[in-house]
Amino acid sequence: MSDVEIKSEDKFTFANYWPSLVIVGAIFSLISFVVGLFFGYQQINSEPAGSFFSPFMLSSGVICLLTAFAGMVTVWHYTKEISPFLKLGQGAALGFLTGAVITVLSVILSELWVMLFDPEYTEKILQSMIANIEAMDMPSSTREDMIDAMADSMDTQQSFFRQIFWGIPVTGLLNLLTALIGVKVFAKKDEETF
Q: Note the pLDDT tens digit of each residue in 44-92.
A: 998 887 777 778 778 888 999 999 999 999 999 999 999 899 999 999 9
Residue 159 has pLDDT above 70, yes or no: yes
Which residue from 79, 103, 92, 111 is spatially nearest to 25, judged by alpha carbons? 103
Residue pair 31/67 in contact by the 8 Å Cβ criterion: yes
SS3 69: coil
Least confident piece of the model among 60-64, 91-95, 98-102: 60-64
Handedness of CA 175, 179, 181, 186 (dihedral sign): positive
Question: Whole-angstrom distance between the N-terminal and C-terminal Cα of the chain?
Answer: 22
The domain spans of the chain are 14-186
Confidence (pTM): 0.83
pLDDT of residue 51: 75
Least confident piece of the model among 93-102, 115-124, 168-177, 182-191: 182-191
Distances (CA, A) of 168 to 97, 98, 99, 105, 177: 9, 9, 6, 11, 14
Residue 156 has pLDDT above 60, yes or no: no
Would you place residue 7 in the very low, low, confident or very high pLDDT band (cuts 50, 70, 90)? very low
Which residue from 71, 86, 78 is spatially nearest to 28, judged by alpha carbons? 71
